[in-house]
Amino acid sequence: MKKFLLSAVTFTALAAAPALAADLPRKAPPPAAPPPPPPITWTGCYIGANIGGIFGRGDARFNEFEIGSNDRSAFTGGGQIGCDYQFAGTGWVIGIRDMFNWANVGRDRTFVDNVGNVISTDTNGSWFNTLTGRIGYAFAPSWLLYGQGGVAWIKHSVDVNINGFDFGEFGKTRTGWTAGGGVEWMFAPGWSAFLEGNYMDFGDKDHTVFGPGGVCPVGGCNFTTEVQAATVLIGVNWRWGGKAPGYRY
């Protein structure tokens, strides 16, 4: 009888064990690890602003006589827009950019030519625009070293006065070439900053001037100007649309 009662109690306890275990509080599973941040890529487009300095040089000739050179510098500022593409699995980046800057670069000079004419010039450059392609290498995920080159335009004017007679202003948009390079740092998601230097060459331009008082008679006088400029710029870009190749977002 005792053995029967002991067996019955044991059976009842074993049968109730699963129910009791189901009523016990369970430990919550550990939270899922957050997904890793997307890898940095330079692929995408951007728009931004820049400031810096422009350093210009102008050479002038009057009837093939070298009447001097002048160097000038000024503050410049403006904006840029462009797009980049980073090749999958590499640090190589290619892109295209257009930059437009205001730059009040000017200087007054007075020269005396080989026959005694007193020539005063007032030169001024009011803006420049560059359209460049660039190629770079991301030597670290957020750092890009690049070179660039392309076409450049500048609004350049010269006011000429010879022996007290004002011959007027000779101004036009000049076309040339540009080359340069720099480094860019992606300091936050969607934001980058850059430091770069560029050289621009706009070649020679000939102007024919006519004037009274025996100065520049029939046929006129030839006035030639040559313009080069260099820039040092810092800027910031806001980027969008970039996704790392092969990464699932």
The pLDDT tens digits of the residues spanning 93-140 come to 999 999 999 988 776 777 776 777 777 777 777 899 999 999 999 999
Domains assigned to the chain = 41-240 (2.40.160.20)
Q: Is 141 left (phi over 0), alpha (psi -120 to 50) or beta?
A: alpha
CA distances from 207 to 59, 64, 88, 173 (A): 14, 12, 52, 14
Place of tokens 């005694």: 116
Confidence at residue 249, expressed as pLDDT on a 0 to 100 scale? 38
Confidence at residue 101, expressed as pLDDT on a 0 to 100 scale? 97
Confidence at residue 148, expressed as pLDDT on a 0 to 100 scale? 98
Q: Summarize the chain as % helix, strand, coil (round to 5).
A: 10, 65, 25
CB 91 within 8 A of CB 126: no
Confidence at residue 242, expressed as pLDDT on a 0 to 100 scale? 63
CB 177 within 8 A of CB 151: yes
Structure tokens at 112: 């005396």
What does the alpha-carbon distance between residue 128 and residue 175 come to, in Å, rounded to a whole number? 10
Low-confidence ranges of the chain (pLDDT < 50): 4-6, 8-9, 11, 244-249
| Cα angle 98, 246, 133; round to 5 | 15
Compute the CA torsion angle 220, 224, 225, 226 (nearest 10 deg): 160
Burial annotation 145-159 (CB, 10 A radius, 16+ → b, else e): ebebbbebbbbbbbb
One-letter amino acid for residue 186 of the chain: M
What does the alpha-carbon distance between residue 229 and residue 155 come to, in Å, rounded to a whole number? 12
